[in-house]
Structure 1
Amino acid sequence: MQTVILYWVLLMSIWAFAAMGIDKRQAKRKGQRIPEKNLWLLALIGGGIGAYFGMQTFRHKTRHTSFRVGFLILALLYVFGILYLLGARIPGSIQA
């Protein structure tokens, strides 16, 4: 089950990263955009890491505080979730 979750997060992160790049390109070309709610949905259902790195890489939505803070928080949550699934010890965590 852990492997399925890890692959899901990887797939959604790639998708979210690509979506940020596509939306940035469409913004420059004044083309059809990806709705913000769809970008958020991709980030929420597993693509938080990709969405955050896509935002930074393509310099897209960086002026929107909700995206900057929200995508960062989601990315951190997913990183900690992955570390937990992999059994990594998180500094400062209480081990039972």
Structure 2
Amino acid sequence: MKELYMVIYYVIVNIIGLLIMREDKKRAQQHAWRISEKTLFLIALLGGALGETIGMYTYRHKTKHPSFTVGFPLFMLLHIAFIYIILK
């Protein structure tokens, strides 16, 4: 049962990650108030790194920032390890 809850959680948080990257790109194009990098990294840390990485490359947003192109995949690896330990 806990596996189902984890799948639901990760699906939701990654959809949020994808949508927040889209929103930040849209705001950047409109020169509007932006979503802080701290918020983007918090979502990645909470499990949304895959969604944000997909959003980063889909919307071509933050792709020139090594902190994102390296940081998000590192968060993904940490979450894979976390899931492995929890489900073991």
Same fold (TM over 0.5): yes
Normalized against structure 2, the TM-score is what? 0.85
CA contact (8 A) 1:27 1:33 kept: yes
Q: Is the aligned partner of 1:34 residue 2:35?
A: yes
Q: Would you say how many aligned residue pairs link Structure 1 and Structure 2?
A: 87
CA offset at residue 73 of structure 1? 2.1
Identity of aligned residues (%): 38
CA contact (8 A) 1:44 1:74 kept: yes
Question: Structure 1: 5+ residue runs without aligned partners?
Answer: 88-96
CA contact (8 A) 1:52 1:75 kept: no
Structure with more of its chain in helix, by fraction: 2
Question: Structure 2: 5+ residue runs without aligned partners?
Answer: none
Q: Deviations over 1:16-40 (max 9, x none)?
A: 1000000000001001110110011
Q: d(CA) in 1 for partners of 2:87 and 2:11? A: 14
Over alpha carbons, which structure has the higher Rg? 1
CA offset at residue 74 of structure 1? 2.1
